[in-house]
């Protein structure tokens, strides 16, 4: 790439990253004073459908307008930026114009189109303000829209106070708008550009100007800036960009995000990849570990299930039977049992995803410790929730967690999040984002559902959590629910209902098992926002056609001209008079697909190449062979630097042979293993391989329990995913701390394990809320205590006594910080045996004294139950908890 000066070297290096094919720069074309008042930028096609016009008026103020096929769609509207050092919205003088064509070829891991080819024309218009401050307005035009950004080249840094960026549409233009909230979960409304109320609206915002549609949004937002939104002046068609922060600071030169208008007919807008085209290239050199897929998710249909490892294993079994790739364990999981569920799942070909509140990962130390820990368990990805902000600080946090998860090869789903702004191109391990009023709102409306493919889902993966038959407050049919899985694009599709509800609708489940979650090609076949939408998507050699409707019953018909040569088998699932109906027919590219669509209904068609005798497009789902891995010993104890001997035997009891079998120990960080992995090219039914190893503990091993995994990996024939199966069992090794001596407060002892019903367990403070240290002093019945443990039922803390102590004493009760009465029971468990139980204690009961004999006890667990009536307000204190020891 040729560049013309140092300022534009910055632009080329930092603003316009190329993939595969670099952009070619052309010579600068300085304008004279006579022609410096207006400039036009046209797309690179021979007959470009879209063009942008920039005007500098007599006051030195800039405006930008957009036309589509010669007709105005965005009339001249102010552009510019104001910093703390200069007002670059007026008094500008033109310096030069530079043009180039930007060509990009790149590959996505998710989305509506896997392989991307993008071509656009770009003009950089350079201006100086009254004080000499410089600003470049960079305008990029492609066949599907216009984008512009500002480049402020001040090497000393810059602080942006506001943008003048705005858009003006005909006041009568139909509009589909989202009242702004930072989680983008408000109900989208249908109105007009002028009739919309005054206030803020979230991106993306869709308008129709006659038969041309305009989708306004932004691209390439990260921690160098803050997110934007639109603010509307009532009674006008004008919308201005408003930043989340009052000031956005950059330590050096700044290139702002792209202000983006996707422009064209409805099909062009719906299938546009412009937001990704404008984003920085992928930061990952290797994406082989990034795997989209279907996720079994329990929280929506049964909120308490993420606390139940037995129920989570049932979801694993369901996913394994149906070839689904993942389960998501949402809020409520506990580190005491998650590793076991992960091992159970992986042995069955299912990977586990874990939910986190973002505040559990908001510091570098938390991200290093927590994410590294769950990765060591074998977790494949994380769902991070409740960010609820478009501030620059929050985007810096996104940058940080994306770098760390990429380093650890953990895939990501952002919930309670902002919208995609090209993030899935730059960070290909981002599988999906919420930013949608999804099924978890428990109020499903067909009219709203049919807006999403034309608005929110245009800009990136959308975690709607589809196919929720469990939602009773819905006006959609069962076929509509199934079709959302296809019509909505998301790299991870979190199927939102319970196994029993899917099993009771076998035709729906059969269809879901055949649907991919990423696509090679997407075409809009028909529809209008708020009414209906029909899409064709291709994955490999197969086509999938689906639609959802919010209109009265009708027959949908579409030509099948997109099919290749030959004959095709078309299997269609739709609503029938007595439930879901599946029909099959043979067709070719000269035929049409005709489907009855019920009121607020939908359908899904799976289309595969027809061969003689073929009666279904169903492909076998991935089912992993049953194997056995036995590890001895099951439990062990060693001091730091000590050793244990480990043996493992891996067996294929029955079935077809497996291949590339390997058995090895994968020691924890800092631990060492002596002995080689054992392997076998093939293992037949009834055959085994065995290994023996000596494992040496880290000389600096912290007290507590450590899992030493023994892992078997293998491949099996006809695996559609062609990846190794991971089978793991672990030796549970206990590293004891020093025995306590004298009178020791429990809050000063190391915790061997801990779990808590809300937030972290607190030492010498009350439970508070979700952050460590956010409680107050421990207070029960008006008495305060300097020492103790603050918990929230259900909770359990285990500490080591080593047989050296004789008594455990504490004052226990509900903390005074709760606003309503709680109810709990305190229990003391010694080496697995019950030693004490207070029975139910309520807030009004004040403190109760515990005095428990613990002679000879090695480990003691302090447990709190919720009293049988739920955990609300169950802030339970172990005040002055102490042990008397030799």
Q: From its phi and psi, is residue 44 left (phi > 0), alpha (psi between -120 and 50) or beta?
A: alpha
> In 774-823, which residue ranges form alpha helices assigned H by DSSP?
none
CB of 637 closer than 8 Å to CB of 667: no
Outline where 488-633 has alpha helix (H): 499-503, 506-512
DSSP 671-721: -EEES--EEEEEE-TT-EEEEEEEEE--TTPPSEEEEEEEEEEEEETT-TT
Cβ neighbours for 303, distance < 8 A, ≥ 6 positions apart: none
* pLDDT tens digits, one per residue of 698-751: 999 999 889 999 999 999 998 988 899 999 999 999 999 999 999 999 999 999
DSSP string, 145-195: EEEEEEEE--TT-EEEEEE--EEE--TTSEEEEEE--TT--SPPEEEETTT
Name the nearest CA neighbour of 411 among 329, 351, 480: 351
Q: How far is CA 747 from CA 705, 805, 878, in A?
A: 19, 16, 9
Tens of pLDDT, residues 489-530: 999 999 999 999 999 999 999 999 999 999 999 999 999 999
pLDDT the model gives residue 36: 55
Domains of the chain, each with CATH number or no CATH:
6-278 (2.70.98.10), 628-735 (2.60.40.10), 743-885 (2.60.120.1060)
Q: What would the mean pLDDT of 805-809 be, rounded to a whole number?
A: 97
| pLDDT tens figures, 424-468 | 999 999 999 999 999 999 999 999 999 999 999 999 999 999 999
Is the per-residue pLDDT at 346 higher than 50? yes
Predicted confidence band of residue 829 (pLDDT cuts 50, 70, 90):
very high
Helix axes 309-322, 338-346, angle to 10 degrees: 20
Q: Are 592 and 568 in contact (CB under 8 A)?
A: no
End-to-end CA separation in angstroms for the chain = 76
Judge contact between 722 and 349, C-beta under 8 A: no
The predicted-structure confidence for 77-91, as pLDDT tens digits, reads as follows: 999 999 999 999 999
- With a cut of 60, say whether residue 305 has pLDDT above it: yes
Partners of residue 594 on adjacent β-strands: 557
SS3 label, residue 110: coil
Whether pLDDT at 414 is above 70:
yes
Note whether 269 and 206 are within 8 A (CB).
yes
Q: Is the dihedral of CA 687, 693, 697, 698 positive or negative?
A: negative
**CA dihedral sign, ordered 175, 176, 182, 186:** positive
- Looking at per-residue confidence, does 702 or 226 come out higher? 226
Q: How far apart are CA 322 and CA 318, in angstroms?
A: 6
The confidence score (pLDDT) of residue 868 equals: 84
Which residues are CB-neighbours of 832 under 8 A, at least 6 positions away? none
Kindly provide the residue ranges of all beta strands, DSSP E only, lying in 330-466, ordered along the sequence. Answer: 351-357, 381-385, 411-414, 430-433
What is d(CA 695, CA 709) in angstroms, rounded to the nearest whole number? Answer: 11
d(CA 364, CA 356): 15
Section 132-155 average pLDDT: 97
The catalytic site residues sit at 385, 440
Neighbours of 611 (CB within 10 A): 9
CA distance 671 to 44: 59
Q: Examine the pLDDT at 647 and tell me if it is beyond 80.
A: yes
Q: What is the pLDDT of residues 91-100, one digit of tens each?
A: 999 999 999 9
Phi, psi (rounded to 5 degrees) for 269:
-65, -45
Residue that wins the pLDDT comparison between 15 and 643: 643
Beta bridge partners of 242: 229
Residue 18 Rama label (left phi>0; alpha psi -120 to 50; beta) = beta
Q: What is the pLDDT of residue 718?
A: 87
For residue 492, the tally of other CB atoms under 10 A from its CB is 28
pLDDT at position 25: 37
Distance CA 486, CA 452 (A): 13
pLDDT value of residue 773? 86
CB atoms within 10 A of CB 11: 22
Half-sphere exposure of 533 (CA within 13 A, CB side): 28
Q: Which long-range contacts (CB under 8 A, 24 or more apart) does 224-227 make?
A: 224/250, 224/254, 224/255, 224/392, 224/395, 225/160, 225/250, 225/254, 225/256, 225/257, 225/392, 225/395, 226/390, 226/391, 226/392, 226/395, 227/390, 227/391, 227/395, 227/418, 227/421
Contact between 802 and 821 (Cβ < 8 Å)? no
Beta-strand ranges (E) seen in 349-489 are 351-357, 381-385, 411-414, 430-433
More confident residue, 201 or 12: 201
Check: CB of residue 119 under 8 Å from CB of residue 50.
no
- What 3-state class would DSSP assign to 527? strand
Kindly report the average pLDDT of the chain as a whole number: 94
- 8 Å CB contact between 600 and 476: yes
Residue 768's pLDDT is what?
A: 86
- Strand (E) or helix (H) holding 817: none
Element (H, E) at 796: strand 795-800
Phi then psi for residue 711, to 5 deg, are -120, 135
Beta bridge partners of 126: 96, 136
């Amino acid at each position: 790439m040729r560049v013309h000066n140092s300022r534009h070297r910055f632009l080329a290096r930092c603003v316009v990253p190329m993939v595969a094919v670099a952009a070619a720069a052309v010579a600068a074309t300085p304008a004279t004073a006579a022609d410096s008042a207006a400039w036009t930028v046209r797309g690179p096609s021979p007959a470009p459908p879209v063009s942008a016009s920039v005007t500098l008026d007599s006051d030195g103020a800039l405006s930008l307008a957009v036309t589509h096929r010669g007709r105005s769609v965005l009339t001249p509207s102010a552009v510019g930026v104001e910093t703390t050092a200069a007002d670059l919205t007026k008094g500008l003088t033109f310096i030069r114009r530079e043009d180039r064509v930007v060509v990009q070829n790149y590959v996505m891991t998710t989305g509506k189109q896997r392989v991307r080819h993008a071509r656009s024309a770009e003009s950089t218009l350079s201006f100086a303000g009254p004080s000499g401050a410089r600003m470049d307005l960079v305008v990029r035009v492609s066949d599907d829209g216009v984008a512009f950004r500002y480049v402020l080249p001040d090497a000393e840094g810059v602080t942006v106070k506001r943008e003048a960026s705005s858009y003006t549409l005909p006041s009568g233009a139909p509009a589909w708008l989202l009242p702004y909230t930072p989680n983008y979960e408000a109900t989208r409304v249908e109105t007009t550009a002028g009739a919309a109320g005054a206030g803020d609206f979230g991106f993306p915002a869709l308008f129709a100007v006659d038969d041309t549609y305009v989708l306004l949004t932004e691209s390439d937002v990260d921690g160098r800036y803050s997110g934007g939104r639109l603010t509307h002046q009532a009674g006008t068609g004008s919308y201005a960009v408003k930043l989340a922060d009052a000031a956005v600071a950059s330590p050096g030169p700044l290139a702002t995000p792209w202000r983006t208008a996707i422009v064209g007919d409805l099909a062009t807008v719906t299938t546009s990849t412009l937001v990704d085209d404008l984003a920085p290239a992928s930061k990952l050199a290797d994406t082989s570990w990034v795997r989209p897929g279907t996720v079994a998710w329990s929280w929506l249909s049964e909120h308490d299930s993420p606390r139940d490892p037995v129920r989570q294993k049932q979801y694993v079994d369901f996913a394994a039977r149906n070839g689904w790739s993942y389960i998501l364990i949402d809020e409520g999981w506990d580190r005491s049992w998650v590793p076991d569920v992960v091992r159970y799942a992986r042995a069955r070909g299912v990977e586990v995803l874990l939910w986190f509140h973002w505040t559990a990962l908001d510091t570098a130390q938390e991200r290093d410790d927590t994410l590294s820990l769950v990765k060591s368990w074998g977790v494949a990805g994380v769902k991070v929730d409740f960010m609820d902000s478009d501030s620059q600080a929050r985007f810096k946090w996104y940058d940080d967690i994306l770098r760390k998860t990429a380093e650890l090869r953990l895939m990501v789903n952002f919930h309670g999040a902002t919208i995609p702004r090209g993030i899935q191109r730059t960070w290909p391990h981002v599988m999906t984002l919420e930013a949608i009023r999804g099924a978890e709102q428990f109020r499903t409306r067909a009219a709203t559902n049919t807006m999403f493919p034309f608005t929110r889902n245009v800009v990136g993966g959308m975690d709607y959590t589809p196919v929720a038959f469990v939602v009773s407050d819905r006006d959609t049919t069962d076929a509509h629910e199934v079709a959302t899985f296809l019509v909505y694009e998301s790299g991870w599709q979190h199927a939102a209902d319970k196994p029993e509800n899917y099993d009771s609708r076998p035709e729906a489940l059969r269809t879901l098992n055949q649907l991919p979650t990423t696509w090679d090609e997407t075409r809009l076949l028909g529809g209008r926002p708020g009414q209906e939408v029909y899409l064709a998507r291709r994955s490999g050699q197969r086509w999938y056609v689906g639609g959802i409707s919010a209109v009265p019953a009708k027959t949908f018909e579409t030509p099948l001209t997109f099919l290749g040569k030959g004959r095709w088998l078309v299997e269609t699932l739709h609503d029938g008079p007595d439930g879901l109906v599946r029909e099959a027919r043979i067709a070719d590219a000269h035929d049409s697909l005709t489907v009855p669509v019920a009121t607020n209904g939908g359908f899904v068609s799976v289309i595969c190449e027809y061969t003689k005798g073929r009666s279904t497009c169903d492909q076998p789902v991935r089912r992993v062979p049953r194997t056995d891995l036995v590890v001895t010993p099951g439990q062990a104890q060693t001091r730091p630097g000590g050793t244990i001997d480990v043996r493992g035997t891996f067996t294929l009891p029955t079935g077809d042979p497996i291949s590339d079998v390997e058995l090895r120990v994968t020691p924890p960080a800092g631990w060492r293993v002596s002995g080689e992995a054992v392997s076998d090219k093939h293992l037949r039914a009834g055959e085994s391989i065995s290994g023996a190893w000596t494992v040496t503990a880290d000389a600096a091993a912290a007290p507590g329990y450590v899992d030493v995994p023994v892992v078997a990996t293998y491949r099996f024939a006809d695996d559609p995913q062609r990846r190794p199966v991971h089978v793991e069992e672990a030796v549970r090794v206990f590293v004891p701390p020093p025995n306590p001596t004298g009178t020791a407060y429990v809050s000063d002892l190391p915790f061997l394990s801990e779990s808590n019903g809300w937030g972290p367990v607190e030492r010498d403070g009350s439970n508070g809320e979700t952050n460590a240290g956010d409680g107050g002093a421990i207070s029960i019945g008006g008495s305060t205590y300097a020492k103790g443990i603050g918990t929230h039922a259900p909770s359990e803390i285990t500490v080591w006594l080593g047989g050296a102590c004789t008594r455990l004493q504490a004052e226990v009760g509900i903390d005074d910080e709760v606003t309503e009465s709680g109810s709990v029971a305190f229990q003391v468990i010694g080496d697995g045996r019950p030693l004490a139980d207070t029975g139910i204690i309520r807030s009004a009961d004040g403190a109760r004294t515990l005095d428990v004999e613990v002679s000879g006890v090695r480990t003691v667990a302090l447990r709190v139950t919720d009293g049988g009536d739920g955990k609300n307000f169950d802030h339970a204190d172990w005040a002055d908890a102490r042990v008397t020891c030799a």
